[in-house]
Amino acid sequence: MKILIRDMTFILPFLLLGCDKDESLNPPPDGETVSVVAKMPADSKILPLEIMYRSSTCLKNRKNSNGDVVKEPGYHFVKKDFNHASDDSMFNLEIPRDGGGRCNWKLSNVTLGFSLKVLPSGNDEKSENIPIKEIVVFDNNSPQRLSGSYEAINGNVKLKGDYFPLITKRRDSSSPVEYSIIRSSPDVIYKSTSAKEVVFEPRLHSSKTLRATEPKVQKVGMYMSVLYPDGTVDNGPYFPNYKKLQLLSKNND
């Protein structure tokens, strides 16, 4: 089941006031955990796991769009590096579902991310390495970033999507060349309240790079020019062409 999210990008508002409790985490030693396992392509670089805990005990106040002060569950955000498994491509991390502490923190969501390990840029080229991130939600709170639609999953979560490198050149010659990663399907937020394990196994098609170039002039009706790995060029308002990417992902690299 998928639930459409109208706003494609949403950042959790700045929280104004907290409670006077000690807001540190203190997971019980025998508490339930969620195992996060990642099997990464050799040419990728995994990012630290972003972990969000929420609390209905330590509420936060914030102002809504009307200027009214409203209460919402507090949050505690941490980043943790993955542990290396026996294989260089394997990473794992155990996360307490119960964050404990005086705020009774509960695991809300995690964000997995990776970027290109090496950028094929010249020494005289300014470049920016932009990672791609996937969100897995474990409760009924909205994550700090919304993109796409919810995909409800019963039980453990297995993410095995196809990804493609994208090189973007902006119209401003002084702007850095952007090296990023795109999915072969629209963005989703995975949600499972019963998951005990999250397996992340992205397939990165490094030899099938897309190249996008902004038009020299910003004008209505002029769009980004995109060169696909099969040699075709698109100059339309919709990017990327997911059908094309899905066909490319079926062919051997």
Token match 């995690």: residue? 110
Q: 10 Å Cβ neighbour count for 146?
A: 19
Sequential pLDDT tens for the chain (253 residues):
333 333 333 444 433 344 456 789 999 999 999 999 999 999 999 999 999 999 999 999 888 888 888 899 999 999 999 998 767 799 999 999 999 999 999 999 999 999 999 887 656 678 999 999 999 999 999 998 887 799 999 999 999 999 999 999 998 988 999 999 999 999 999 999 999 999 999 999 999 999 999 988 888 878 889 999 999 999 988 899 999 999 999 876 6
DSSP H stretches of helix in the chain: 242-250
Q: Which residues of 202-228 are buried (b: 16+ CB within 10 A; e: fewer)?
A: bebbbebbbebbbeeeeeeeeebebeb
Integer Cα distance of 117 and 115 in angstroms? 6
How do the domains of the chain map onto residue ranges? 34-62+70-250
